[in-house]
Amino acid sequence: MLGRAMHERPNEPAKGAALGDFGANAAAGGAWAWKPSLEVPTFSTTASLDVHAWPVPWALAALRPPTLRLASAQWAVKLTAAISLPIVAPKLKVFSFRFPQPGDWLAKSLASSREQAGSPPAPSPSINAAPGAIPKAGRTRIKPPGDIVKLEDRLFYVLQPSLETLIGEGSLAFPFRPFAYQFEGVAFLYPRYAAILADEMGLGKTMQAITAVRLLLHAGELESVLLVCPKPLVTNWQREFTAWAPEVPLAVIEGDQAKRRWQWQQNDMPVKIANYELLQRDRELAVELGLKFDLVVLDEAQRIKNRGSATSLCVRALERRRSWALTGTPVENSPQDLVGIFEFLSPGYLSDAMKPRRMGRAAADYVLRRTKDRVLADLPPKMFRDAEVELTHQQRESYQLAEKEGVLRLTEMGESVSIQHVFELVLRLKQICNFDLASGESAKFERLAADLDEVAASGRKAIIFSQWVSTLETLAGRLAEFRPLLYHGRVPQQHRDGVLEQFRDNPRRQVMLLSYGAGGVGLNLQQAEYVFLFDRWWNPAVEDQAINRAHRIGAAGPVTVTRFLSTGTIEQRIDQILREKREIFDTIFSDVEPARNLGLTQQEIFGLFQLRCPSGPIDLAA
Amino acid sequence: MSSGDPTSQEALGFLTVLEHEQQGLVGGYLILNTAGRPLEFHCTAPVKPSRAQQILFGPTLDSYLYGEQIGQTLLAKGSIAPVAVCTDVQRVLSVRDYVSLPLALVLVGEDKPPAQETSAPPPTWRFDAPHHAGPDMHAFEIGRNRLAVAAHRDADRHEIVARLNGLAAFDLSEPFERIREAVEEAHKGPRG
């Protein structure tokens, strides 16, 4: 009962009254009226009347002395565990690769060429000249082949610029822009340690090989290169190097042994050229001098198809890191030819036991083979015409007599007859097909002379191939009106370049007579629009080589190939064998399923004369 | 790059970062001479940020990974100092805070599709070629190349123009294709 006076003391004013005057109405029992007053009211009453004051709570609170109470409580809080996480950057693993740089020869060579030109030092190679605008589709990138396993080696090739960029580089002069397929050929060779560039003749294997060598020299990947070629082609290679890699110093190994010894040791010549025969002579010298090469290139590599030959043994003995083979005819006679070349590239990789299709698949990554009809849409067409001629009366008589006597003699020899005896007869009959020795008549010549009249009248040029020097010389005499040039094995080496030059540059020297052996490889005779095969070689690859002296890049126009064939003679039978050999080649270098084994057998050779033969295979064109 | 090395007048640097779906970021740095021949190549092992890094670095994570961790590390590995460094990834520009070399972003031309579409890289690699300079970038041209620098690095623009002026015909986007192929090759590891 906080609102009521809890006690009453007469001498003290009622606490409740001190807060105000409730007025008379209160005494009269009327309505309450309270007036606040500061004075302490006193109540006088005579009546015994309990007065109860009802103070409001806030008034009491105002009067009540403040009371302070202290309270303590235990505040026990468990501390939060703090986790510190250092932000430490992990050490990043980095794979680094630095590219080799070219040897001193390059700087010297460039400086030398500038001095000779008398020009001020050229600015450093600039990509100003680079074909930066080459569309991506037109860039030829180098891809590492599958047999390169080291990552560093693979990256070396992946990170090279496109060949078009390299070739557009200011420091690399080119006589003309290579064809797209030639870029591909260079890109094929560039990363390979074992490779066969087997393009058809006339597609520029020489240029592609030189360019690949050149780029590798500039990249510092090569320092010593040995190029081995047939002797007649040495000057051709020199000429091609001058055109396609003029800044690359090269040495031709020649002269007496003392000179050769000195030449072999020339370390400032990154490229050396030697011919096969010389290399055989210097075989022991190479061992004695400890010759090592970063790359050995074999031109006309079909020369080493026979694994047991001195040539093959000699080149295989060379110490080298890379091995390239250039040949338009990696298979001349049989798939074993390719095995022979691979013994130089990667010994044991191919074997004789492999079937052609399997061999083709195994060799696929190492061999690049293009034909003109696939890559040179713009190359003038090559037209064949088989000139089948009937022997003259005198020729026919001589031929039949020789054949009859020959076959009779072979038959009489019985079991002692050898392949050599058969060949002798074949050669004799073929010679009669060319010229009858008794009468001097020649149906082929008559046809040839008529054709040459037309050729000469048109102002065009022709090349004529035969396997015999004697035939060529006879032809030269009878074709004197055409002033024919002669190029065969008996023409001295020092005169040969002059002969070629005459044919190329002199418009009045329209006819050249060549032997398959000396003129069938490596020559560039694009000026000729007519090719005559006066007699046929033993295998089609050699014939192709000959034909492609004229039908190649830079050819003046369509090339017409005339293949003479005396009907009803040994030539027709040989022609049939040649066609079958071509099928062997196609089996290995295409996906065509071989119809049958087309290797030339001894039986077939003897079959030319319907002779029974001893057993066992032979290599006819070896 | 070694700070003490003299700046080579013959070299250009190309720095990029590729993103692999599973393994993370891989950086590649190719130094070419002015003929386009490679002089050096460096690439990182894949970098994948931890969950903690993702949380703690927040929006600065890309800048940290592309610039400080990958870019700076790669540039420090180079023994040849190029006249300038190009990148085709905008986030790599943050490396400029750690190096003194001028750095430019190579923009893909309007008429040129991103390299991803033409070079057919494996689908696990992601690459976003920049087509436009952002608002905080200053774009410019050198020959047929469109470049950009960060707006606050405008001095780089003048320096790059001066240094690369003689290289107008050079396709500055081409070397990145080589880097991508090399990173892909390195990712495959040795053969055999």
Helices assigned H by DSSP within A118-204: 151-158, 163-167, 180-189
Residues of A in contact with B56 (CB under 8 A): 85, 87
* A171 Cβ under 8 Å from any chain B Cβ: yes
pLDDT for res A135: 53
Chain A residues lying within 8 Å of B129, measured CB to CB:
none
Measured between alpha carbons, how far is A265 from A278 in angstroms, rounded to an integer?
A: 16
Q: CB contacts < 8 Å between A and B, how many?
A: 131
Q: Cβ–Cβ of B39/A134 closer than 8 Å? A: no
pLDDT value of position B92: 94
> Among B35, B118, B182, whose Cβ lies nearest the Cβ of A155?
B182
Task: Give the tens place of pLDDT for each residue, B126-147.
Answer: 656 666 666 688 999 988 899 9
Q: What is the pLDDT of residue B129?
A: 63
Neighboring chain A residues of B38 at a CB cutoff of 8 Å:
99, 159-161
Residues of chain B with C-beta less than 8 angstroms from the C-beta of A127: 34-36, 167, 169-170
Q: Of residues A391 and A60, which shows the higher confidence score?
A: A391
Q: Considering Cα of A431, then A524, then A227, then A356, what sign does the dihedral take?
A: negative
This prediction's pTM: 0.64
Question: pLDDT tens for residues A214-240?
Answer: 999 988 899 999 999 988 788 889 988
Task: Determine the pLDDT at residue A140.
Answer: 85
CB contact under 8 A, B36 and A130: yes
Interface test with A, best of B37, B41, B178, B191 (most A CBs within 10 A): B37
- List of chain A residues whose C-beta atoms are within 8 Å of the C-beta of residue B70: 92
Mean local confidence (pLDDT), B30-38? 89
Lowest mean pLDDT among A257-266, A579-588, B70-79, B90-99: A579-588
Element (H, E) at A124: none
Burial class, A251, CB count within 10 angstroms (exposed 0-12 / middle 13-18 / buried 19+): middle
Q: Between B37, B167, B181, which is nearest A158 by CB?
A: B181
Structure confidence at residue A113 (pLDDT):
62
Asked if residues A184 and A140 have their Cβ atoms less than 8 Å apart, the reply is: yes
Residue A310, SS3 per DSSP: helix
Rounded to the nearest angstrom, the minimum Cα separation between B173 and chain A is 10
List, in sequence order, every beta strand (DSSP E) within chain B.
11-20, 24-33, 38-44, 85-87, 103-107, 125-126, 137-142, 145-150
Give contacts of A160 with chain B, Cβ < 8 Å: 37-38, 178
Cβ within 8 Å of residue B80, ≥6 positions away: B1, B5, B8, B11, B31, B39, B40
Report the C-alpha dihedral over residues A487, A490, A496, A501, rounded to 10 degrees.
-30
pLDDT in tens, A148-166: 888 888 898 999 988 887 7
* Residue A542 in tokens: 């050699």
Nearest chain B alpha carbon to A148? B191
Mutate to test the interface with B, among A159, A167, A190 (most CBs of B within 10 A): A159
Who wins on pLDDT, A53 or A64? A64
Q: Is the pLDDT of residue A546 over 70?
A: yes
Amino acid (1-letter code) at residue B157:
R
Which residues in chain A have Cβ-Cβ distances shorter than 8 Å to B40? 96-99
The two three-digit tokens of residue B178, written as one number: 């080589």
Q: Do B79 and A97 touch (CB under 8 A)?
A: no
CB-nearest to A128 from B53, B166, B190 is B166
Q: Which range has the worst mean pLDDT, A77-91, A146-160, A335-349, A460-474? A: A77-91
HEC assignment per residue over A194-234: EEEECCCCCCCHHHHHHHHHHHHHHCCCCCCEEEEECHHHH
Instruction: Tell whether A502 lies on the interface with B, counting CB pairs under 8 A.
Output: no
Chain A residues near residue B68 by CB distance under 8 angstroms: 89
Q: CA B179, CA A159: separation in Å to the nearest integer? A: 7
Return mean pLDDT, chain B: 82
B47 contacts chain A (CB < 8 A): yes
B77 chain-A contacts, CB cut-off 8 A: 94, 96
Look up residue A571 and give its two tokens.
Answer: 């030539």
Amino acid at residue number A551: H
The distance of Cα A598 from the centroid of its chain, to the nearest Å, equals 31
Mean model confidence pLDDT for chain A: 80
Residue-level pLDDT at A485:
96
CA–CA separation, B70 vs B26, rounded Å? 8
Question: Residue A622 is which amino acid?
Answer: A
Whole-number Å distance between alpha carbons of A456 and A569: 30
Mutate to test the interface with A, among B10, B47, B191 (most CBs of A within 10 A): B191
Which residue does chain A place closest to B36, by CA atoms? A161
Report the length, in residues, of chain A: 622
Contacts with B170 from chain A: Cβ below 8 Å: 127-128, 130, 132
Average pLDDT over residues A23-30: 47
Q: How far apart are the C-alpha atoms of A608 and A575, rounded to whole Å?
A: 11
CB contact under 8 A, B185 and A97: no
In the numeric block, the tokens 């035969």 are attached to: A466
Q: Using alpha carbons, select from A218, A256, A243 the residue that is nearest to residue A105.
A: A218
pLDDT at A177 over 90: no
Q: Can you read off the two tokens belonging to residue A586?
A: 């196609």
Measure in Å the smallest separation between the Cα of B14 and chain A Cα atoms.
Answer: 12
Output the pLDDT for position B118.
Answer: 41
Indicate the residue of A144, A146, A219 with minimum beta-carbon distance to B37.
A219
B113-131: average pLDDT: 52
- Tell me, what's the pLDDT at B57? 87
User: Does residue A107 sit at the B interface (CB-CB below 8 Å)?
Assistant: no
CB contact under 8 A, A99 and B37: yes
pLDDT higher than 60, residue A10: no
CB contact under 8 A, A99 and B191: no
* Residues in chain A closer than 8 A to B41 (CB atoms): 96-97, 99, 155, 159
- Please list every residue in chain B whose beta carbon sits closer than 8 Å to the beta carbon of residue A131: 169
Reference B41, options B188, B165, B175, B136; nearest CA is B175
Decide if B191 and A219 are in contact by the 8 Å CB cutoff: no
A416 touches chain B (CB under 8 A): no
pLDDT digits (tens, 9 = 90+) for B165-178: 877 778 899 999 99
Q: Is A124 on the interface with B (CB under 8 A)?
A: yes
Contact B112/A at CB under 8 A: no
Chain A neighbours among B 50-69 (CB < 8 Å)? 52-53, 56, 68-69
pLDDT of residue B82: 94
Residue A28 DSSP SS3? coil
Q: Do B35 and A170 touch (CB under 8 A)?
A: yes
Find chain B residues with C-beta within 8 A of A95's C-beta.
42-45, 186
Task: Provide the pLDDT for residue B86.
Answer: 96
pLDDT over 90 percentage in chain A: 38
Return the SS3 of A389: strand
One-letter amino acid for residue A298 of the chain: L
CA A592 vs CA A480, A583, A605: distances in Å: 47, 9, 26
Surface of A (135-154) touching B: CB under 8 A: 136, 144, 146, 148-151, 154
Residue A569: predicted pLDDT: 92
Residues of B in contact with A166 (CB under 8 A): 35-37
* Percent of chain A whose pLDDT exceeds 70: 79
Which pLDDT does position A2 carry in this prediction? 40
Task: Tell me the three state secondary structure of residue A106.
Answer: helix
